[in-house]
């Protein structure tokens, strides 16, 4: 670690308890009220924990192959609200700040899931922090070091496997030193790892590249190279409100019996003029900055957490109108795979602003399900594939 990433990162690992055990003061919290062996365990093939859970995208993937979530950690109160609304039958509470949780208070588990914060490593996040003169990557002490909290949990519980998810830029951040440190830490913990950058484009009409890192405590010959991508290439039309009466009106995102998208999602003339001038300015300078205008037959750019600000990365053309609109939060849920095409099953109990943040920070659910399916035979072999309910 010291050779690859410099003394500062190694010192931070020591400070956070990875190398020599915890030396920081852990703030006491009430004991977590966790029910082990509760309702639903008999039907589970394995158990998992959901760290930096967001609104449960990783969880959905592993529930789809028979897993049961036994611990959840998510610090954002609005994401907690959405998570709780969509997983109302949990027998454990949603814990907040993972840095304040004793590893012994986390229940034993077969698989660890963690979409640890990506802002310190994302292209947009790095650019913003550079502009503000702030540190990024592992030097970002509020977010970048949270990977080491994942490491201390793995070190203590030694789960059979884990899945970590982050932005593609993690691979190249700091000339590769950040990712090299992550790989070394995981390998030093005794895990065989493999990783792959996967584009959600195969499952939903959105270019969204994310890195998935899989580790097994015992080598199970898991290889991402063996994972085949589907032939499907959906277009935006499958997730957009049709507005022709074929979709049940919800009275929040659409209006009238026809289900027409509410006018509040149409950009103001002022904002639309500003975005056009902004794009022209950067095109003249030879830059690629600017809005992304799409129609039903197109594929969208990556939905980001800042979508609520101006919606510029995904603006939808409107027939008969010169001004485009944003996606509705319901369309975002479909774009991220939380809802099926034209579905409305996912509960959105928060404001549009918070919903945009949550979907922009999440994962493409069908992509996670595909990764989980690819892991499944290797995981079950690692667990001995005993009768249902025998794990945990």
Per-residue pLDDT of the chain (392 residues; tens, 9 = 90+): 333 343 344 444 444 444 343 333 333 333 333 333 333 455 799 999 999 999 999 999 999 999 999 999 999 999 999 999 999 999 999 999 898 999 999 999 999 999 987 544 433 433 333 443 443 333 333 344 788 889 999 999 999 999 999 989 888 877 888 888 889 889 999 999 999 999 999 999 999 999 999 999 999 999 999 999 998 889 999 999 999 989 988 889 999 989 999 999 999 999 999 999 989 988 888 776 789 999 999 999 999 999 999 999 999 999 999 999 999 999 999 999 999 988 999 999 999 999 999 999 999 999 999 999 999 999 999 999 754 443 33
Query: Cα separation of 351 and 378, whole Å?
Result: 41
Side-chain-side CA neighbours of residue 53 (13 Å): 33
Contact 59, 79 (CB under 8 A): no
Cα 180-151-227 angle, rounded to 5 deg: 65
Contact 39, 68 (CB under 8 A): no
Contact 142, 150 (CB under 8 A): no
The domain ranges of the chain are: 2-231+363-383, 236-340
How many angstroms separate the most distant Cα atoms in the chain?
Answer: 65
If we measure between CA atoms, which residue out of 73, 271, 301 comes closest to residue 209? Answer: 301
Q: Quick check: do 2-231+363-383 and 236-340 share a fold?
A: no
Contact 72, 34 (CB under 8 A): no
Residues forming a β-bridge with 95: 73
Contact 198, 231 (CB under 8 A): no
Query: Cα separation of 109 and 153, whole Å?
Result: 11
Residues forming a β-bridge with 72: 50, 94
Query: Cα separation of 306 and 313, whole Å?
Result: 9
Phi, psi of 199 (to 5 degrees): -95, 125
Residues forming a β-bridge with 211: 166, 197
Side-chain-side CA neighbours of residue 180 (13 Å): 14
Q: What is the CATH number of domain 236-340?
A: 3.90.120
Query: Cα separation of 167 and 119, whole Å?
Result: 9
The architecture of the domain spanning 2-231+363-383 is 3-Layer(aba) Sandwich (3.40)
Residue whose entry in the numeric block shows the structure tokens 């990162």 = 9
pLDDT tens per residue, range 78-95: 999 999 999 999 999 999
Which pair of tokens denotes residue 354?
């918070």
Side-chain-side CA neighbours of residue 194 (13 Å): 16
Task: Please name the residues in contact with 251: beta carbons below 8 A apart, sequence gap of 6 or more.
Answer: none
Q: Is 332 a catalytic residue?
A: no
Task: Please name the residues in contact with 364: beta carbons below 8 A apart, sequence gap of 6 or more.
Answer: 57, 200, 203, 204, 206, 208, 210, 336, 337
Residues forming a β-bridge with 199: 209
Can you give the pLDDT at residue 23?
34
Q: What order do you get walking across the sheet with 94-95 strand by strand?
A: 94-95, 67-73, 46-51, 111-114, 161-167, 209-216, 192-199
Q: For the beta carbon of residue 296, count every other beta carbon within 10 angstroms.
A: 15
The pTM of the full predicted model, rounded to 2 decimals, is: 0.82
Question: Exactly one of 118, 214, 240, 365 is catalytic; which is it?
Answer: 118
């Amino acid at each position: 670690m010291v050779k690859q990433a410099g003394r500062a990162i190694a010192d931070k690992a020591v400070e956070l308890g990875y190398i020599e055990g915890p030396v920081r003061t852990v703030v006491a919290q009430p004991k977590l009220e966790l029910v082990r062996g509760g309702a639903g365990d008999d039907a589970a093939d394995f158990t998992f924990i959901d760290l930096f859970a967001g609104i449960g995208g990783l969880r959905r993937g592993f529930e789809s192959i028979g897993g049961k979530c036994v611990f959840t950690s998510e610090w954002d109160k609005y994401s907690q609200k959405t998570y709780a609304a969509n997983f109302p039958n949990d027998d454990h509470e949603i814990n907040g700040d993972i840095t304040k949780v004793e590893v012994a208070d986390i229940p034993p588990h077969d698989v660890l899931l963690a979409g640890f914060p990506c802002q310190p490593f994302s292209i947009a996040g790095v650019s913003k922090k550079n502009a503000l003169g702030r540190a990024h990557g592992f030097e970002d002490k509020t977010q970048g070091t949270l990977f080491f909290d994942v490491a201390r949990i793995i070190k203590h519980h030694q789960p059979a496997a884990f899945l970590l998810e982050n932005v593609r830029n993690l691979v190249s951040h700091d000339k590769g030193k950040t990712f090299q440190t992550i790989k070394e830490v995981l390998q030093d913990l005794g895990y065989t790892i493999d990783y792959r950058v996967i584009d959600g484009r195969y499952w939903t009409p959105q270019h969204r590249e994310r890195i998935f890192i899989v580790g097994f405590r015992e080598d199970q010959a898991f290889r991402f190279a063996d994972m085949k991508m589907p032939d499907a290439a959906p277009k935006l039309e499958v997730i957009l409100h049709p507005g022709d009466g074929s979709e049940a009106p919800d009275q929040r995102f659409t209006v009238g019996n026809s289900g027409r998208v509410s006018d509040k999602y149409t950009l103001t003339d002022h904002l639309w003029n500003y975005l056009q001038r902004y794009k022209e300015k950067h095109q003249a300078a030879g830059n690629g900055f600017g809005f992304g205008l799409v129609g039903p037959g197109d594929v969208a750019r990556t939905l980001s957490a800042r979508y609520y600000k101006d919606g510029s990365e995904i603006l939808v053309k409107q027939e008969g109108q010169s001004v485009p609109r944003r996606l509705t939060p319901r369309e975002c849920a479909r774009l991220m795979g939380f809802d099926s095409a034209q579905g409305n099953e996912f509960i959105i109990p928060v404001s549009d602003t918070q919903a945009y943040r949550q979907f922009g920070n999440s994962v493409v659910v069908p992509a996670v399900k595909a990764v989980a399916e690819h892991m499944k035979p290797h995981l079950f072999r690692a667990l001995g594939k005993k009768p249902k309910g025998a794990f945990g």
